[in-house]
Structure 1
């Protein structure tokens, strides 16, 4: 099976560089770096593929509708980060590896289903406005799954880099909402690009890519 690890190398390098500034930094610097990490977080390949599959088939949705999907994704993601991450930091505990692994498998399956849905919607244009609420709920759920799958790594990073639990919680409290902002902006851009009539011709190729990525991610 094709590997997509190469997609993660640039973002992991950037994250490592930003995280290196957390150790020994003052609180204001820590919060600024946490905000930058949150803004960057939306560009994780699995996040991009999932949201692309959500938006790609919505031929009657513009940037505003796409941004709404991104905000829903971000809210679901941030809610899980805070609901799970803060207790883990307070307890100085780690998320069970089996739970993270299970969440990642479910995310992979969800991406596959979204890719199939993208193909179907590309071929069968829905009635205007018929999909928006349902898609927003789906987006929030997928964001929550991504939050569960990534919470362990984020909590571990903050717990090991920062000197106190209070600092780590404050950093997480900044990271979460900035990730909502970045995903909202990203999906607004997707809404402008992917719903363009010329870009619609690339939807089948994007769907095939998403299917391959989802299968890899699930395993």
Structure 2
């Protein structure tokens, strides 16, 4: 393994950590962190998000690179669209009746599975960009595999620290029962509004509608 490639891997690690801080990622995990009552649980939601995100990138990335093909712009933008709908859905679910009682009944496995699924969807949306980045950065199939793995480790580390920080106000707020509905409401509204904006960006501004009809 050359020094040059080691520097590429280090770049991939840093890039992965930065990738974790993208607004749609932060907002999505915040809807889960808002329901946690312990910092440890909040931190682990980020870890599971990172695992789901990495697994998707790895599977799709290696298949696409292995077959030496590409992901079309239409498919890529459609996958990005799923993220917008997911954000809206997560926001709406924050306003479910008896949400507080439902949260008390939730076990930790459910929370982590939910984080894993959200990470999986984000990985689908980012797969096209990841494949393009990898193909222009490395020289072999093995290097591509290693690069995506290191990038994934970076996202896990980044999201771990991010959800730990995000979880602090939610954890303390949940200890004061009168603030619980307000916490859920704020997280829900932000998720819905950003989700709608994200959908608008993909369909109208980025031109998905034009690609579909023309």
Q: Structure 2 vs 1, CA of residues 119 and 55 (structure 1 numbering), >3 Å: closer, same or farther?
A: farther
Contact 1:100 1:152 survives alignment (8 Å): yes
Query: Which structure 1 segments of 5+ residues have no match?
Result: 1-24
Aligned residue in 2 for 1:37 = 15
Equivalent of 1:53 in 28, 31, 40: 31
Aligned residues: 193
Q: Give, in whole Å, the separation in 2 of the partners of 1:155 and 1:138.
A: 25
Q: 1:150, CA displacement in angstroms?
A: 0.2
Aligned residue in 1 for 2:211 = none
In the alignment, structure 1 residue 73 sits paired with structure 2 residue 49: yes
Question: What TM-score, normalized to structure 1?
Answer: 0.77
Aligned residue in 2 for 1:209 = 190
Contact 2:95 2:184 survives alignment (8 Å): yes
In the alignment, structure 1 residue 140 sits paired with structure 2 residue 120: no
Contact 2:28 2:87 survives alignment (8 Å): yes
Q: 1:66-145 maps to which residues of 2 (within 5 A)?
A: 66-120=42-96, 124-126=100-102, 128=104, 130-145=106-121
What's the secondary structure of 2:164's corresponding residue?
helix
114-123 or 62-71, larger mean C-alpha shift: 114-123
Q: Give, in whole Å, the separation in 1 of the partners of 2:41 and 2:169.
A: 13
Question: What TM-score, normalized to structure 2?
Answer: 0.79
Q: Structure 2 vs 1, CA of residues 52 and 88 (structure 1 numbering), >3 Å: closer, same or farther?
A: same
Contact 1:54 1:118 survives alignment (8 Å): no
Query: Which structure 2 segments of 5+ residues have no match?
Result: 201-214
Aligned residue in 2 for 1:191 = 167
Deviations 1:47-87 (A, max 9, x none): 0011111222x1x5211111222122111111111111112
